[in-house]
């Protein structure tokens, strides 16, 4: 008999991405258990990787004029603008769970398979570090790998505003498959692929139930200690 691992499912709604990232860091550093976090409805914000430089990645004057908060997460990854139409999915797992080696490529490939199987979108695939449908990006990824644990965070574009993309600059370092395409030329929306948002989430939850013994958790149930929430920071623009 195959023993399914216990996975704590935390399904959030309208939780700001700053708070979600704090939660992710705390669960990665301060717990030994396995978690899947799903969040939707975050207010608009720009999120940069831990080494991101605002002057190279965002249109600072436009961002300041629009009063958009800028956040530096504790992991690597690119710069994204998120809002109420972003669907976040994060896995925080013990090392070698499901036999996944604790390295970026195997973790990304595992995620690719999970999302392919639960959503059944034709041509859903991993392209470099992004989840794509064909040649169009639908999800950006960030990872953090520790000695005994790893975190895989995806920001999926259920929908997006073309107007929001004016706040981001074309980065010098970008995936080869993107080439010099603008955001509107290389992004796509999950809502265009046959399911409503509730069904997308239900199918994802069903997949997690299929691979693990799922225990729902709520924010109020989590013993989060402040020392493990230290690296997610607001960025002051000058």
Q: pLDDT digit string (tens) for 201-212?
A: 999 999 999 999
Containing domain of residue 178, as a range?
6-228
Tokens for 5?
Answer: 């691992």
Mean pLDDT across the stretch 28-32? 91
Q: Is residue 1 part of a domain?
A: no
Q: Is residue 233 part of a domain?
A: no
What pLDDT score does 223 carry?
61
pTM of the entire structure?
A: 0.94
Share of the chain above pLDDT 70, in %: 96
Q: Is residue 183 part of a domain?
A: yes
Mean pLDDT across the stretch 63-86? 95
Q: Is residue 236 part of a domain?
A: no
How many structural domains compose the chain? Answer: 1
Q: CATH number, domain at 26?
A: 3.30.930.10
Compute CA distances 106 → 90, 113, 196, 225, whole Å.
16, 11, 30, 30
Q: Is residue 234 part of a domain?
A: no
What pLDDT score does 27 carry?
93
Q: Is residue 171 part of a domain?
A: yes
Place 1 in a pLDDT band, splitting at 50, 70 and 90. very low
Q: Is residue 192 part of a domain?
A: yes
């Amino acid at each position: 008999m195959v023993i399914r691992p216990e996975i704590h499912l935390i399904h959030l709604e309208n939780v700001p991405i700053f708070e979600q990232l704090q939660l992710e860091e705390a669960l990665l550093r301060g717990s030994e258990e396995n978690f899947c976090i799903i969040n939707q409805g975050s207010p608009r914000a720009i999120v940069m990787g831990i080494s991101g430089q605002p002057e190279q990645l965002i249109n600072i004057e436009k961002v300041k004029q629009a009063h958009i908060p800028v956040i530096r997460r504790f992991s690597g990854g690119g710069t994204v603008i998120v809002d109420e139409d972003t669907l976040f999915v994060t896995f925080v797992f013990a090392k070698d769970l499901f036999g996944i080696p604790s390295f970026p490529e195997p973790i990304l490939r595992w995620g690719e398979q999970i999302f392919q199987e639960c959503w059944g979108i034709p041509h859903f695939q991993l392209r470099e570090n992004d989840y794509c449908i064909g040649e169009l990006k639908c999800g950006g990824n960030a990872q953090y790998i520790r000695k005994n644990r790893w975190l895989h965070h995806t920001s999926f574009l259920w929908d997006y505003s073309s107007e929001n993309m004016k706040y981001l600059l074309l980065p010098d370092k970008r995936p080869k498959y993107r080439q010099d395409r603008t955001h509107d030329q290389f992004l796509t929306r999950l809502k265009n692929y046959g399911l409503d948002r509730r069904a997308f989430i239900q199918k994802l939850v069903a997949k997690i139930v299929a691979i693990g013994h799922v225990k729902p958790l709520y924010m109020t149930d989590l013993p989060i200690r402040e020392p493990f929430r230290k690296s997610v920071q607001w960025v002051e623009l000058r």
